[in-house]
Chain A
């Protein structure tokens, strides 16, 4: 900001005072200082209105008893921490939180590994093979979530699914009529696979962009020094891809932690609540049960868990501008 103001000044007439050393910023007219802030104002107002206000609303609602009746009558009933104590004293909540964190960690790790692998692969592929791969990735990425979820449900169907039929054909007879949704863990594994399948393309492209920005001479130099493929990756690719990796890890954690659509569409958090994650709990409490206060409390708790999990990355993002994030 300072630089832009300075540019504006230098573009103007020569300063009347001949002693440059005596220039003081405070001497500028107030209107001139206010201009940049005024220009920022509309953006700030829109950001606050669209992003901050709903978030603050959710926080307020979490301290209210807001059921259908209160909502319709426009009644405001403050209940303090009641919603929170009720949720936190429920052992199920802790089970669900743990499940959500483990699910998120697994999915993020799998996504990053696969994404990085494909990014490196893309750098080594050449010509039409790479274009075919990229086309496939874009198509997978472009498939609407619900459409992809439906396709996965068909593939994993107990009686008519292509997966079971293929496995039986390959000689694994025990998969005849095998139910992939019989337990929570198995259901979450299928959902995880679906989420990874949808998330990998973006991660792969982002990391690929980081990789191709590395000058080719560095690889040539490494090759002349007799570096193996793995050594070249560690010494040349890794440093250039690391900041990108930090960013996509952070983003993936945010996205995968609050995955709702796929989880709900596959088995509504079943069987027997076995694949219920925190967003599903929020939906069940808030929307399905019409206890909007309780649902908002779940949302706030989710935010707290998310901040706790990503704290390190957040600090990294805020503190080190030199990582060029």
Chain B
């Protein structure tokens, strides 16, 4: 019933909006007089300095144009975007999480930007984000910024346990866990690695590293491949790592419940697989932890290599119903330029349309992320993925079922495969 009312409201929101959808184009002469460009960016995405400088430059070069900047919250953004994109006062620029982008791209509610790719620094795009914004060969979403996970570790504990260099292979990683246990194992609260049962981002790295993937792409159709030997090997390594670490983390929760950074901040954890800025979260419990923490890329099974990583991030897009598409394109041109993309690297994120990550090198935690970022991948670019993120994630269920022994590996992967295929087929 709750759903029913929401549907009725969403529908009434678009009443009378039909008819003009297909006719608006950018070829018409821009209207005279003052105009307002509405930009929706997400909370915590673009650094404040970037936004302020960018808007000043944009307004200076576009007389009579005001940029109306509205910061949106991630929580509930899918519903909000659905309503906004169907309304008559759609924003001119939106930021879409890269796993949600295909849902909007496939429904033809975004402007096709294929012809303008070169205007937007197209040669330097991050592959994973380019794939997220692409549907059926057309580019609807422009890369914005990304981040990927790495292993965050306590330098002091590594040193005390006699680990001189950070692990560069799975074998060395497991060896480091053994050494940490030998040194600190007498403390019952100590965990060499905090790893909850449902950190599926980490699992993706292991599966990619084995040469597997979540799904196989054929045009716009995706088929789940979690039952492949490569995927199974990745899951087996997850289990091996989890058991070797003896982590106390719940097997039926992800890294957010409870928030792993808080537990790492408690000082009894030597490693966690997380994002660079989780160090700052941990520092809220213990400010000294920042200086004791460094990072290394998730090691590969092949010594000396880094494992491929899942890249989370954002795409920028212009809604099909936007009124100022010409201005929106100018805005995108500016924000995708090297000048402004450099600010993302300075803020500790991987820029989406620039290959210059030198600003990340100064900090060892960010440098580890940058090192792994060249081998970044995205989840299948299918509209079904948004359903998975907003609802029940079969990868999480699969991990918990296998790790707790509720299902065998074959049964768990087969069930997850089936659930994914159902989601992919809509």
**Using a CB–CB distance below 8 Å, which chain A residues touch chain B?**
53-55, 57-58, 61, 66-69, 71-75, 157-160, 177, 179, 181-182, 258, 260, 268-273, 276, 279, 282-284, 286-292, 295-296, 298-299, 302-303
Contacts of A75 in B (CB 8 A): 18
Residues B4 and A282 in contact, CB atoms below 8 Å apart? yes
List the B residue with the shortest CB-CB distance to A159.
B248
Given contacts A182-B252, A269-B392, A292-B7, contact A68 B82 (CB under 8 A): yes
| Residue contact A290 to B4, C-beta cutoff 8 Å | no
Total of A-B residue pairs, C-beta within 8 Å = 152
Contact A67 B107 (CB under 8 A): yes
Interface residues of B in 341-365 (CB under 8 A from A): none
Q: Tell me whether B18 and A273 are in contact (CB under 8 A).
A: no
Whether the pair A182, B387 counts as a contact (CB closer than 8 A) is no
Question: Contact: A287 with B18, CB < 8 Å?
Answer: no
Q: What are 11 A-B contacts defined by CB distance under 8 Å?
A: A71-B82, A72-B85, A74-B19, A157-B258, A182-B404, A269-B391, A271-B400, A283-B2, A288-B390, A289-B387, A296-B7
User: Across the interface, do B258 and A286 meet the contact criterion of CB distance under 8 Å?
Assistant: no
Interface flags for B130-168 (1: CB within 8 Å of A; 0: not) read 000000000000000000000000000000000000000
| Chain A residues within 8 Å of B85, by CB | 68, 72
Q: Which of B11, B19, B253, B426 contacts A61 (CB 8 A)?
A: B11
- The yes or no answer to B227 lying at the interface (CB within 8 A) is no
**Closest B residue to A283 using CB positions:** B3
Q: Which residues of chain A are within 8 angstroms of B401 by Cβ–Cβ distance?
A: 271-272
Point out the residue from A53, A58, A260, A290 that lies within 8 Å of B103, measured CB to CB.
A290
Given contacts A69-B109, A72-B85, A288-B78, 12 further A-B contacts (CB under 8 A): A57-B7, A68-B107, A69-B107, A71-B10, A73-B109, A182-B406, A268-B391, A270-B392, A287-B7, A288-B386, A292-B7, A299-B1
Pick the contact of A292 from B10, B15, B386 — CB < 8 Å?
B10
Q: Does B187 contact A (CB under 8 A)?
A: no
**Cβ B86 vs Cβ A72 within 8 A:** yes
Give the shortest distance, in Å, between A272 (CB) and chain B (any CB). 4
Question: In the complex, are the beta carbons of B2 and A279 less than 8 A apart?
Answer: yes
By a CB distance below 8 angstroms, the chain B residues around A260 are: 2
Q: A179: which of B16, B103, B252, B320 is its contact (CB, 8 Å)?
A: B252
Residues of A within 8 A of B104 (CB): 68
Report A-chain residues with C-beta under 8 Å of the C-beta of B15: 74
